[in-house]
Amino acid sequence: MTRSSKRKLAILLAVLLAAAVALVGATSGLGQPGLPEGDVAFVDDVEDGAITQEDLDSALSQAAAQSGLPEVPPADDPQYASLEQQAMQSLILAKWVQGEAADRGIDATQEDIDAELERIKEQSFSSEKEFEQFVKQSKFTEEDVQEQVELTLLRDRLEQEVIAKPEISDDEIEEFYEVNIDSFKQPASRDVRVILNSSQAKAEQAKAELEADDSDQSWEQVAKQYSQDQASKDRGGLLEGLTEGQGDPQLEKEAFAAPEGEIVGPFETDRGWYVIEVTATTPETTQPLSEARAAIEQQLAASRQQQIAAEFQADFTDKWTPRTVCAPAVTIDLCSNYVAPEPPSVPGQPAPPPVLSRKPIEPGTSTIAIDGAPQQGLPQGPQPPPAEEGAAGQLPPGAVPLGPNGAPAPGAPPTAPAP
């Protein structure tokens, strides 16, 4: 295609796009396809997918209360934009979870909700009065409480279906053990008494006294008098669990060559003159597969679950973002019509590449927690930038402090490679 042809095609596409935008504006009333008047957002393929201005106002009040503010600040306040984004994310993610649960045939009955609410009260509140005070301070209505408990149940049941514990085969466990065999080895070690002195003559004198009396008491006296090694001089010169490659290579070479129970030296190192005696030796050992199997299986399962969660997170966001349309004034990156703002330019520096998407919520976090901490659960989609870099351990924006605590990930041996 010639340059002239390409230019004509670009002009034609631009004209068609402008016509399409004009048609949408003329037929939708508010200028957003499928967004009824009075709504701030709509999620398609969800029963009652509309998010109204009333919903947003309520979510704003709850976000302000969660931030410790007595009321929602005015729109020109610097805090308002953050609260609005938090509120919109909370509302949209709730619709997404409801829609995903419905697609998978997952629901929660009123009986389920009542039972879960009672469990929450017993677990996290000392009395009904304390719970009611929490609800009041959080700006929740009774309907809000019911909806949040239902959302918790739907999220947990989605997690159980999507991120169930995978089966790990014996072959996978054995392969991991063989590939990471060094991680299951305990290196050989030696307990060594040492005298260190910058003077060869004093080191010779210390050796002579020890050869005359090699008792523990003698070592304590000689070490205090002659040794300049601060780590051992007050312990009778004893260094326990000395392993190769962990400290002074010159000392380690002599210590691992010396016979047990024999005074060796003085020999010179970069630190000075050493006199040593090996008091105990421990050979290298390897934890057998039979003892390591359970921990390996746990680690492989956790690694597999993280991979499944990451894949679901991407699919979840890709599925529901195109179905979500928002009013221009309140678009966030969960909306199909969101346009990332242009990054500020710095004089003398090239403009950074455009930001296509903000970092998604880490797999395993949720939007609901009673104590204000992240909890285990399904990934919920992208989140706004944190207020401070590295502010780990905080609720993701849009979180509502209502729901059971999540359990920490179990410890395990070395990280398994992703399958």
Residue-wise pLDDT tens digits, 56-86: 999 999 999 998 998 999 999 989 999 999 9
Please give the average per-residue pLDDT across 240-246, as a whole number: 81
Give yes or no: residues 43 and 170 share one domain: yes
Shared domain for 75 and 137, answered yes or no, is yes
**In which domain, by residue range, is 271 found?**
188-283
Are both 255 and 168 inside the same structural domain? Answer: no
Q: What are phi and psi of 117, to 5 degrees?
A: -65, -40
* Domain contains 359: yes
Contact 390, 175 (CB under 8 A): no
Q: Is residue 89 part of a domain?
A: yes
Query: Is residue 300 in some structural domain?
Result: yes
Q: For residues 128 and 226, state if they share a domain.
A: no
- Binning pLDDT at 50, 70 and 90, where does residue 186 land? confident
The domain tally of the chain equals 3
Same domain membership, residue 100 and residue 56: yes
Tokens of 346: 């710095």
50/174 same-domain check: yes
Q: Residue 90: what residue type?
A: S
Q: Verify that 376 and 419 share a domain, yes or no.
A: yes
**pLDDT for 23-51, tens place per residue?**
333 333 333 455 777 899 999 999 889 99
My answer on whether 248 and 335 are in the same domain is no
Indicate whether 349 belongs to any domain.
no
Which of 249, 266, 283 delimits the end of a domain? Answer: 283
Let me know: does 237 contact 214? Beta carbons within 8 Å.
no
- Stretch (H or E) spanning 286: strand 285-286
Joined tokens for residue 85: 């984004």
346 belongs to a structural domain: no
What is the structure's pLDDT at 352?
58
Largest CA distance in the chain: 106
* pLDDT beyond 90 at 113: yes
In this prediction the pTM is 0.57
Distance CA 130, CA 149 (A): 17
> How far apart, in Å, are the Cα atoms of 139 and each of 125, 150, 190?
17, 18, 64
CA dihedral in degrees (202, 208, 209, 210; nearest 10)?
A: 110
Is residue 348 included in any domain, yes or no?
Answer: no
Which of 77-81, 215-219, 379-383 is predicted with the least confidence, judged by mean pLDDT? 379-383
265, 379: one domain: no
Q: How far is CA 25 from the centre of its chain?
A: 43
- Encode burial over 172-193: b for 16+ CB neighbours within 10 A, e otherwise: bbeebbeebeeebeeeebbbbb
